[in-house]
Chains A and B, each alone.
Chain A
Amino acid sequence: MPSKGNFIEGNEPVTLPQYMLLNSTRFADLTAMRHKDKGIWQSWTWAEAYLQIRVFSIGLSELGLKPGDKIAIVGQNRPWLYWTFCAAQALGAIPVPVYADSVAEEMVYVLEHAEASMALCQDQEQVDKVLSIGDQLSKLKKIIYDETKGLRDYDHTNLHSIEDVKKLGEVVLEREGDAHWLEGVANGKGDDLAVMLYTSGTTGKPKGVMLSFDNLVISARNANEFDHLDSSEEILAYLPLAWVGDHVFSYAQTYLCGYCVCCPESPDTVEENRREIAPTYFFAPPRVFEVLLTSIIVQMEDAGKIKKKMFDYFMAHANKVGEPILNGESVGFLDRLIYSLGEFFVYGPLKNRMGFTRLKVGYTAGEAIGPEIFKFYRSLGLNLKQLYGQTEASVYISAQPDGEIRADTVGRPSPGVEIEIDDSGEVLYRSPGVFVGYYKDEKATASTKNKEGWVRTGDAGFLDHDGHLKIIDRAKDVGKLEDGSLFAPKYIENKLKFFPNIKEAVAFGDGRNMVCVFLNIDLTSVGNWAERNNISYASYQELAAHPEVYATMESHIEQVNKDLADEELMAGAQIHRFLVLHKELDPDDGELTRTQKVRRSFIAERYDVLIDALYDGSKEQFVETEVVFEDGRKGNISATVNIGDVKTFPATFSQNEAAE
């Protein structure tokens, strides 16, 4: 295992810049990075990427970036933003990626807390954001930008384009060569701080998770081995840079095994670009798979009769034999024949349409995925798996090995990871990927990571009979109803969200006499249904309040109640009353985190009148809400929201047990 000690030519590299150096020779002619620019996929080999990084890194040093300095990286997935990680690390500086869509106020906290002395911004929008908070950033000295558009007339005293910085580097390279710089790279140690990633924080201020090179390198190596990844893979980098997943998939893992990272043209073209690249290794939160499936179903509803029939027939067949075939189980000859016909007529074109033709391994994580959705993709022959991870673990805590795939677990402990469940039901883990600590927050570090290196995940869960980890909810969110039965809000919400018509759900019930929920309808799916049934609507609000929509919601919740009644732990937490919110939950209003998770307590506070109405038996309730538009202006939405009642079912698990 790599650890301390200098990197000398021929030795095993221990830092990512050292891997870059190695890759520039061992993978010299392989494509390292692609970016679609002006309608054409531009590409760089490892050798070319190395030259770019070297000159930029030396330029950064000239500009005043020193070992231990922090450089904020703000923007979407672009080659230069990834190269800046390596360029900064080569100097011993620490990159701090920041969510591109965070508003200026959110950015102040991260940049100031991290004490960033430089910021690399993707474009004018990000530069403007940083400039607008400039007076609150005591440490920030220089801003560097990638795209020049619109920035020509700005004051360039402390603002530099990447080209300018490269010119600085070129001068030094010509004068003194790169020996000094190479020495710096060689001096990098495995336990050096590699990166600081700020967690989005469901509660309180974001915390800066410090990861060392050892953390990243070992986790990345294990992951590559686990899924047999090599330099032939191609991935699409489209998830936020500041998120640990992207940092590991699109940066650490590729430096270890040399696969190609493709940056989309713009956030709006991700789907199209994915189709063009057809990644072999793909990662997406469940939402992406949900949206994709919804759009396919919606399009199939509008398709011609023959196409629709074909789709239905072959999908039914895939549903029956697709997963067994994928898992390598024995399947009859005729079924296999029909399946291969289906591959030709339906599955193949469908996969091509989604950009999954070459997919070797796909992962979903972050939230629970609907079993139906999961099964849909797997039955097409796509090796979609689940994993469970955290920033503090350099992603990997558990993952599903090939052939042991189930919709309701997150798999076995990843290589090198130990998992334990404590008395309260919280999941603990220990691994080589465990973070160094939270930046400038000893107290939080101590309360999360103990002396033996065990880290609290904050999630409640258990290991099932096969040793697979099953996550129920956030440990602190698991509560009890008045009658003492267990209330796991996210568990219920996820069950609801598995219906394509329901986009978001928020469950309440801790310390109360019954469970009630807020719902958001999915405008694509319900809107399409409305269109087909000649129901006219002008806005989300109008459609959400439609009696037929309420009836559909009620039937969905009834189904969930039936499922819950069947589970030992959850039968007491069936849903009694619900309402459909008059507006979509929105991160701009603080109702969702930037990673689209509901902030339950905030929502409870904001809509307290609605909660009161749910529990006092009212049939409707007037509510007025302040909303923030994308440009920061505020407005009001008001509505009278109807409240519906749902049938509940007697617990059935006891009979099941008897039957066993």
Chain B
Amino acid sequence: MNAHVNQNSVSAIDNIAKGDVLLQVDNISLSFGGVKAITDISFDIRKGEIRAIIGPNGAGKTSMLNVINGFYHPQEGTISFMGQQRTKMRPYVAASQGISRTFQNVALFSGMSTLDNIMAGRCLKMHKSFFWQIFRHGPALDEEIEHRKVVEDIIEFLEIEHIRKDPVGALPYGLQKRVELARALAAEPILLLLDEPMAGMNLEEKEDMSRFIIEVNEQFGTTIALIEHDMGVVMDLADRVVVLDYGKKIADGKPAEVQADQNVIDAYLGVAH
């Protein structure tokens, strides 16, 4: 599945050893008018790890992901990805650098089939000209076949063969989430951002999804940052956890450390003043 990663990112990612910093977030602050969504947050994501971002509702988790993939632009602070500090960044630039994501509320093309949705994830990897593509002929067809192979690998990997041709709008929620993960994987990301991948799933679907996340991480070496509310899942999956509350970072460390942290317990359970 790694055959088609574009040349720039290959060399850049190879220079970073497993366990070194892949993405560094420094003193980020983000506000919308008078509302401070994120205040002075710093943390890092290391290559090859599963990094969880947790926190109560409204803590700024999704905003943080949006900052990372360039959808929001923080007023203060810097982000560097693969050693390169970046200024104002557009989501498609982030995507072409190897950051892809899924959304909290599924954001698929609901009228299109599972296959087409995942093919859409390969969009950035298609290089043949518009002219060839509209005729779906010659070099464009060869290229499409190559991409289809990658997509079929992903379909097999995520065990969604039976819905290959079904329009995604008609699929159950658990499967839609899986298709969304498939689309994100189709971009062959270096860093994969998952926004509540297990929300609204039953136990079996959660177990499947956990299996897939671990597998993506181990088999393809993809670094993963995920937001999740199910503490059982987070504690099992994540190598390190960062905890946010009211836009501030209140803890950062291994799952067990974080779990025992008094600030975290107070944030989740509330504290008597």
Please report A residues at the B interface, Cβ cutoff 8 Å. Answer: 37-40, 149-150, 152-153, 265-266, 268-269, 272, 629-631, 633
Q: Are B162 and A152 in contact (CB under 8 A)?
A: no
Would you call A149 and B203 a contact (CB within 8 A)?
no
Minimum distance in angstroms from B3 CB to a CB of chain A: 15
Is B52 on the interface with A (CB-CB < 8 A)?
A: no
List of B residues within 8 angstroms of A629 by Cβ: 203
On chain A, the residues within 8 Å of B211 by CB distance are 150
A658 to chain B, nearest CB (A): 58
CB distance from A132 to the nearest CB of B (A): 15
B-side contacts of A149, CB under 8 Å: 157, 215, 219
Q: Which of B62-70, B80-88, B147-155 faces chain A?
A: B147-155
Q: Contact at B153–A38, with CB atoms within 8 Å?
A: yes
Task: Check A265/B219 contact, CB under 8 A, given A630-B204, A631-B203, A631-B207.
Answer: no
Q: Which residues of B contact A37 (CB under 8 A)?
A: 156
Contact in complex: A269, B162 (CB < 8 Å): yes
A493 to B247, CA, bound (A): 63
The CA-CA distance from A550 to B149 in the complex, in Å, is 52
Number of A-B contacts defined by CB within 8 Å: 37
Per the bound structure, the CA–CA distance linking A308 and B169 in Å amounts to 27
Residues of B contacting A153 with CB < 8 Å? 218
Chain B residues lying within 8 Å of A39, measured Cβ to Cβ, are 148, 152, 155, 161, 164
Chain A residues with CB below 8 A from B162, complex form: 265-266, 268-269, 272
- For residue B146, CB closer than 8 A to chain A, the reply is no
Asked whether, in the complex, the Cβ of A266 is within 8 Å of the Cβ of B159, the reply is yes
A162 to chain B, nearest CB (A): 17
Going nearest first, the 4 A-B pairs with the smallest beta carbon separation are A268-B162, A38-B152, A269-B162, A265-B161
Shortest distance from the beta carbon of B114 to any chain A beta carbon, whole Å: 11
Say yes or no: A38-B156 contact (C-beta < 8 A), given A266-B161, A269-B162, A631-B204.
yes
Q: In the complex, how many angstroms separate the beta carbon of B216 from the nearest chain A beta carbon? A: 11
* Given pairs A38-B153, A629-B203, 20 additional interface contacts (CB within 8 A): A37-B156, A38-B149, A38-B152, A38-B155, A38-B156, A39-B155, A39-B161, A149-B157, A149-B215, A149-B219, A150-B219, A152-B219, A265-B162, A266-B161, A268-B162, A269-B161, A630-B204, A631-B204, A631-B207, A633-B203
For B159, the chain A residues whose CB sits under 8 A away are 266
Query: In the bound complex, what is the Cα–Cα distance between A142 and B155 (angstroms)?
Result: 30
- Within residues 83 to 114 of chain B, which ones have a CB less than 8 A from any CB in chain A? none
Q: How large is the interface on B (under 10, 10 to 19, 20 to 34, 35 or more residues)?
A: 10 to 19
Q: Which residues of B contact A633 (CB under 8 A)?
A: 203
Q: Which residues of A contact B204 (CB under 8 A)?
A: 630-631
Q: Closest CB-CB distance, B178 to chain A, in whole Å?
A: 13
B residues 162-212 with Cβ under 8 Å of A? 162, 164, 203-204, 207, 211
A40 to B155 alpha-carbon distance, docked (Å): 13
Q: Which residues from 1 to 16 on chain B have a C-beta closer than 8 Å to any C-beta of chain A?
A: none
Q: How far is the CA of A38 from the CA of B204 in the complex (A)?
A: 24
Within 8 A of A (CB), among B122-165: 148-149, 152-153, 155-157, 159, 161-162, 164
Closest-CB distance, B117 to chain A (whole angstroms): 15
CA distance in complex: A630, B204 (Å): 8
B237 to chain A, nearest CB (A): 15
Most buried by A among B156, B161, B211, B215: B161
Residues of chain B lying within 8 A (CB to CB) of residue A152: 218-219
Q: Quote the shortest CB–CB distance from A117 to chain B (angstroms).
A: 30
Residues from chain B with a CB closer than 8 A to the CB of A38 are 149, 152-153, 155-156
The smallest beta-carbon distance between A430 and chain B, in angstroms, is: 45
Asked whether A150 lies within 8 Å of B156 as measured between CB atoms, the reply is no
Complex Cα gap A152–B220 (Å):
12
Q: Please, which residue of chain B has its CB at the minimum distance from the CB of A147? A: B156
Chain B CB within 10 Å, residue with most, of A37, A38, A152: A38
23 contacts between A and B (CB under 8 A): A37-B156, A38-B149, A38-B152, A39-B148, A39-B164, A40-B152, A149-B215, A149-B219, A150-B211, A150-B215, A150-B219, A152-B219, A153-B218, A265-B161, A265-B162, A266-B159, A266-B161, A266-B162, A269-B162, A629-B203, A630-B204, A631-B207, A633-B203
Docked CA distance A633–B211 (Å): 18
Q: What distance in Å separates the Cβ of B142 from its nearest Cβ neighbour in chain A?
A: 16
Q: What are the residues of chain B within 8 A of A40 when measuring CB–CB?
A: 152
A38 to B155, CA, bound (A): 8
Residues of B within 8 A of A265 (CB): 161-162
Q: How far is the CA of A149 from the CA of B155 in the complex (A)?
A: 13
Most buried by A among B156, B159, B203, B211: B156
Q: How far apart are the CA atoms of A265 and B156 in the complex, in Å? A: 9
Expressed in whole angstroms, the minimum distance between the Cβ of A429 and any Cβ of chain B is 40
Tell which of A39, A149, A269, A633 has the most Cβ of chain B within 10 Å: A39
Give CA–CA (A52, B141) in the complex, Å.
Answer: 33
Closest-CB distance, B21 to chain A (whole angstroms): 25
**What separation, in Å, do the CA atoms of A265 and B204 have in the docked complex?**
22
Q: How far is the CB of B119 from chain A (nearest CB, A)?
A: 12
> Which residue of chain B has the shortest Cβ distance to A270 in the bound complex?
B162
**Which chain A positions have C-beta within 8 A of B148?**
39
- In the complex, what residues of B have CB within 8 A of residue A150's CB? 211, 215, 219
Closest residue to B214 on the A side, CB-wise? A150
Interface flags for B211-235 (1: CB within 8 Å of A; 0: not) read 1000100110000000000000000
Chain B nearest CB, measured from A569 CB (Å): 46
Q: How far is the CA of A38 from the CA of B161 in the complex (A)?
A: 8
